[in-house]
Amino acid sequence: MSRQKIIIVLLSVVFIIGIVILINSIGEAEPDFLQTLDENPESFERDISDISYQTSILADTTSIFQPAQIRINNNLTYVNDFADFTIYEYDHEGNQKRKLTTTRGRGPGEILHLTDFDIKDDIIYIADSQSMRVTSYSIETGENIHTFSLENRPMRITCLQDGFIVQWLGNDLLFSKFDYEGNEIHQFGEIVEDQYRHQMSLDGTIRSNRDDRFVYIPFYSSLIYHFESNGELINILKAPDGVHFPFTRREGATAFAPDFSYMRDGYLDENDNLYVFTRIPEDENESSNESLIAYLDKYNLRTAEYLESVRLYDHYTSVMYNTYENTIYASDFEKSFLFQLNQDF
């Protein structure tokens, strides 16, 4: 074989190998998440699971006057007492392990109005809307670690691997990301037009996967927004109720939130499933002559799809699903409950 033919053969082999590498690289470059960005809510029926559960009072909560928010971290449950902003830690059997008592006031480490909290690496981060600060404590010792003063009122907070996300009340953009030294990295989150005027309609909750993504779950709309930590919108999931964002009602200089609220809370598991507690407004329950209705709705973030629901026959202020123990924790302003499911949800 001549030298020229050998070169041609070698070039052909290289070309074929290049084509194969290109095809494989295109396949690997496919997005991990289905990009569903249609912002029009739809009303559809829930798929009610036939999972049954046993209900009991969560142990050792008699000292809590107004159990409000519930959070789960490392298979431990944290309950906020809205009466004095004390936060209690429980193991999976309901045994109280720790108690963090915050001090009311405006000084370093003191709290005026706790609107949300999250936990990372045994440190609790508290959004204080009245003092316009984020304050962090050691759960084990109760020691104040940081007090970050902010330019606006933080309503919600959730922790990522490299920083925390704050949801604002009174800002042109809905979110800001901070590092754990309190430095603002960037602002993002334009959800509706004329957002500043309708900010009270954008109240909701935010929950993260503890790593690089978080979700925003509005109280007044049947859409769930899934974000990267850099603020990029991954996809939008549709909730069953089909409710559109309402406008904030204004009378002169005073703004009022919508008259109804689909109270929603959420939890992300390690398999990119999202569990959202949805409390149907009482006026809708009364019109249908049914008992109070609430649901724990399950979604998949990768496919941006609603999957199924478990029906709860009461209203709560917060509900969390512990996937490790197959347990639902729920609280209202009087007591806390534990629901033990008879199978995986």
User: Does residue 287 surpass a pLDDT of 70?
Assistant: no
Mean pLDDT of the chain: 84
Using alpha carbons only, give the angle 41, 266, 238 rounded to the nearest 5 degrees.
15
Decide the pairing of beta strands 96-100 and 86-90. antiparallel
Give the pLDDT confidence score for residue 61 in this predicted structure.
58
Residues 345/296, Cβ–Cβ less than 8 Å: yes
Task: Report CA torsion sign: 99, 131, 122, 74.
Answer: positive
- Reduced to 3 states (helix: H, G, I; strand: E, B; else coil), residue 262 is coil
pTM of full prediction above 0.75? yes
Between the ranges 54-63, 237-246, 316-325, where is the mean pLDDT highest?
Answer: 237-246
Distance in angstroms (rounded) separating the CA atoms of residues 238 and 247:
19
In this structure, of 14-18, 145-149, 291-295, the range with the lowest mean pLDDT score is: 14-18
What would the mean pLDDT of 119-126 be, rounded to a whole number?
Answer: 93
Strands 103-104 and 110-111, sheet pairing: parallel
User: What's 48's DSSP letter?
Assistant: B
Give the confidence band of 204 by pLDDT, cuts at 50, 70, 90: very high
Tell me, what's the pLDDT at 313? Answer: 76
Task: Summarize pLDDT for 140-167 with one digit per residue, the tens.
Answer: 888 999 999 999 999 999 999 999 999 9
Q: Give the pLDDT confidence score for residue 30 in this predicted structure.
A: 47
Say what the pLDDT of residue 288 is: 47
DSSP annotation string for 286-341: HHTT----EEEEEEETTTTEEEEEEEESS--SEEEEETTTTEEEEE-SS-EEEEEE
Q: How far apart, in whole angstroms, are the C-alpha atoms of residue 275 and residue 267?
A: 5
What SS3 class is residue 203? coil
The predicted structure's pLDDT at residue 283: 61
In the structure encoding, which two tokens stand for residue 239, read together? 């909730």
Where along the chain do its domains lie? 43-341
**pLDDT-derived band of residue 28, with 50, 70 and 90 as boundaries?**
very low
User: According to the model, what pLDDT value does residue 227 have?
Assistant: 97
Q: In angstroms, rounded to a whole number, what is the distance separating the alpha carbons of residues 86 and 178?
A: 25
Element spanning 104, H or E: strand 103-104
Q: Is 108 or 309 the better-scoring residue by pLDDT?
A: 309
d(CA 52, CA 65): 29
Report pLDDT for 29. 47
For the record, the structure tokens of 221 come out as 């709309």
Determine contact, residues 279/332, Cβ cutoff 8 Å: no
Neighbours of 286 (CB within 10 A): 10
Convert the pLDDT of each residue in 214-224 to its tens digit: 999 999 999 99
Q: Which residue has the higher pLDDT, 288 or 15?
A: 15
Question: pLDDT tens digit string along 44-59?
Answer: 999 999 887 776 655 4
Strand, helix or coil at 192? coil
Q: At the topology level of CATH, where does 43-341 sit?
A: Neuraminidase (2.120.10)
Q: What is the per-residue pLDDT for 324?
A: 82
Sequence-distant (≥ 6) Cβ neighbours of residue 251 within 8 angstroms = none
The closest of 269, 273, 149, 275 to 205, measured between CA atoms, is 275
pLDDT at 187 over 70: yes
What proportion of the chain, given as a percentage, has pLDDT over 70? 85
CA torsion, ordered 89, 94, 96, 98, to nearest 10 deg: -20
Cα–Cα distance, 11 to 281 (Å, whole number): 70
CA dihedral 205, 234, 212, 274 (to 10 degrees): 50
Identify whether the C-beta of residue 88 lies closer than 8 Å to the C-beta of residue 79: yes
